[in-house]
Amino acid sequence: MTDFLSIAYPWIKAVHIMAVISWMAALFYLPRLMVHHTEKVGLSGETHDLFAMMEYKLAKVIMSPAMMATWVFGLLLVLTPGIVDWGAVWPYLKGAGVIAMTVFHVWLMRRMRGFQRAENTLTGRQYRLMNEVPTVLMILIVVSVSVKF
pTM of the complete model: 0.94
Torsional sign, CA 48, 53, 54, 58: positive
- Among 27, 15, 32, 21, residue whose Cα is nearest residue 72: 15
pLDDT at 1: 74
pLDDT at 132: 96
Question: Residue ranges of the domains in the chain?
Answer: 2-147
pLDDT tens sequence across 8-21: 999 999 999 999 99
Q: Which helix (H) or strand (E) holds 5?
A: helix 2-36
pLDDT at 2: 73
CA–CA separation, 35 vs 126, rounded Å? 8
pLDDT tens sequence across 62-115: 999 999 999 999 999 999 999 999 999 999 999 999 999 999 999 999 999 999
Name the residue type at position 75: L
